[in-house]
Amino acid sequence: MNHGTKIPAIQVRQLTMAYGDFVIQRELSFDVGRGDIFIIMGASGCGKSTLLKHLVGLNAPAAGEIFFDNVRFTPENSAGYDRILRSFGVLFQSGALWSSMTLAENIMLAMDQYTLFTRQEKMERASFKLGLVGLAGYEGYYPAQISGGMRKRAGLARAMALDPQILFCDEPSAGLDPLSARRIDDLILELRESLGTTFVVVTHELASIFAIGSNSIFLGPVGQTAIAHGDPTTLRDTSRDSRVKEFLFRGEKS
């Protein structure tokens, strides 16, 4: 599904994020290329999840602009806004599954709204998505009946419901056992490979960062701006910034 264009999937220009007067990060500018697995990293509390919330439109920027495919992402541009919303999926940090619906219903809701599949077809698609995240057979379970790690994986399955072009994942492998975490990484790589999906991933699992990341942004402390951009492996090997190096080497001397 490569569009064959050089236009980045997402462009962020001079984005400043703030809660009231409290500035989280200022003047962030970066591009997420099509088919990239873009990692947002930085110390805890520096605004990684907040950046993700801005990218998916849940928080309004204090200043700056975000473009998807060269179309400005803002509620004022209502036709474009809805189309963009439909082009991506979001995995929330806590899963954020709709607790009054079963896992299958959670995944099928987006299809109910936006597709004309038959019920049978929707059910099959939901089962397949659950199978992809290692939850085959859990269609009829409610979110409260499964564990936190399973909820996160079900959240990923829901985010994939409409086969989005872009997937935003807030800590997809945090709280998972090593094998499940590895499966998620493999799934992300596979989706990019086979469908050309672009990923924006907030994570601080180093193993995962190096295994899947093809580009990244490293956020500085609260109130400041990004310290570094680029392929995480290259950053680790060539960055001169001590904070980036320490982070990527887990504080151990290189």
Partner 1 sequence: MKDPAKTSSFEIRQEENRAELRISGSWVADSERSAPGEIFALLTKTAAVSELRITATELQESDMSLPTFVFALHRLCQQDNISLRFDELPEAATRLLGMALAVPEQEGVRRESDESSVLSRIGSDAIAVGRGWHATLEFIGGCCLALGRMAVGRAQFRGSDLWTVVQECGARALPIVSLIGFLMGLILAFVSAMQLKMFGAEIYVANLVGIGIVRVLGAVMTGIVMAGRTGASFAAELGTMQVNEEIDALETLGISPIDFLVLPRLVGLTLMMPLLCAYANFVGLLGGLVVGMSVLDLPARLYINQSMEVLDLTQVAIGLCTSIVFGVLIAMAGCLQGMLCGRSSAAVGTATNTAVVHSITCIVVATAIITVICSVLGI
Positions touching partner 1 (CB under 8 A) are: 53, 56-58, 82, 85-86, 88, 90, 92-94, 96-100, 109-110, 112-113, 158, 221-223
Could you tell me the smallest distance in angstroms from the CB atom of residue 90 to partner 1?
4
Q: Which CB, 122 or 232, lies closer to partner 1? A: 122
Could you tell me the smallest distance in angstroms from the CB atom of residue 230 to partner 1?
26
Q: Which CB, 86 or 183, lies closer to partner 1? A: 86
Could you tell me the smallest distance in angstroms from the CB atom of residue 244 to partner 1?
17
Q: Which CB, 53 or 232, lies closer to partner 1? A: 53
Neighbouring C-alpha atoms within 13 Å toward the C-beta of 222: 12
Could you tell me the smallest distance in angstroms from the CB atom of residue 183 to partner 1?
23
Could you tell me the smallest distance in angstroms from the CB atom of residue 55 to partner 1?
10
Could you tell me the smallest distance in angstroms from the CB atom of residue 56 to partner 1?
5
**DSSP conformation letters of the chain:** --------SEEEEEEEEEETTEEEEEEEEEEE-TT-EEEEE-STTSSHHHHHHHHTTSS--SEEEEEETTEE--TTSHHHHHHHHHHEEEEBTTB---TTS-HHHHHHHHHHHH----HHHHHHHHHHHHHHTT-TT-TT--GGGS-HHHHHHHHHHHHTTT--SEEEEESTTTTS-HHHHHHHHHHHHHHHHHH--EEEEE---HHHHHHH-SEEEEE-STTB-EEEES-HHHHHHH---HHHHHHHTTT---
Q: Which CB, 14 or 94, lies closer to partner 1? A: 94
Q: Which CB, 22 or 179, lies closer to partner 1? A: 22
Could you tell me the smallest distance in angstroms from the CB atom of residue 184 to partner 1?
19
Q: Which CB, 82 or 241, lies closer to partner 1? A: 82
Among 144, 131, 78, 89, CA closest to 111? 89
Q: Which CB, 159 or 244, lies closer to partner 1? A: 159
